[in-house]
Amino acid sequence: MTDPANLAEWQTSKVSVQPLTEGPPRLGYRVKERTKIGLRQWDQIVEFTEFEPGRAFSTHIVEGSVPVDGRWTFDDDGAGGTTVRFVAEGALTGPMRLVQPLVRAGIARSFRQYHDLLAQNVEATRR
């Protein structure tokens, strides 16, 4: 989930992901993501601000037009699987403030789809 080489496999809006930090993902690790939604495309620099493999990780948009940070937590579901929880936080500024409820709903919908795809990919590798 944290390997930049795999990000576009489950976050389908990612056109490319380029590591900016040498070595494996860890606290402080940065990537440059190119995202495309509809006709709009943009770049953003993302930093891992929390990194506890198997437990939690958080990201912060260091540079980019959509300042939304994310935090994922992982819990044993008691049946041999993992429950993943995701929380997005951030406030839009300027004219984008007016459409914040729509953006929030769109982000929630997108990440539900991304996590469903991630779960499918994980299940496929277990077979």
CATH, residue 13: 3.30.530.20
Q: Are 67 and 44 in contact (CB under 8 A)?
A: no
The pLDDT, as a whole number, for residue 120 is 73
Q: Tens digit of pLDDT for each residue in 8-39?
A: 888 888 999 999 999 999 999 999 999 898 89
The pLDDT, as a whole number, for residue 57 is 92
- What total of structural domains would you count in the chain? 1
Q: Are 33 and 17 in contact (CB under 8 A)?
A: yes
Which residues of the chain are modeled with pLDDT < 50? none
In terms of residue numbers, what domain contains 98? Answer: 4-126
**Alpha carbons 58 and 85: distance in angstroms, whole number:** 12
Q: Which of 21, 20, 25, 26 is nearest to 6 (CA)?
A: 25
Residue 103: which residues within 8 A CB-CB, separation 6 or more?
A: 66, 92, 96
- Partners of residue 42 on adjacent β-strands: 35
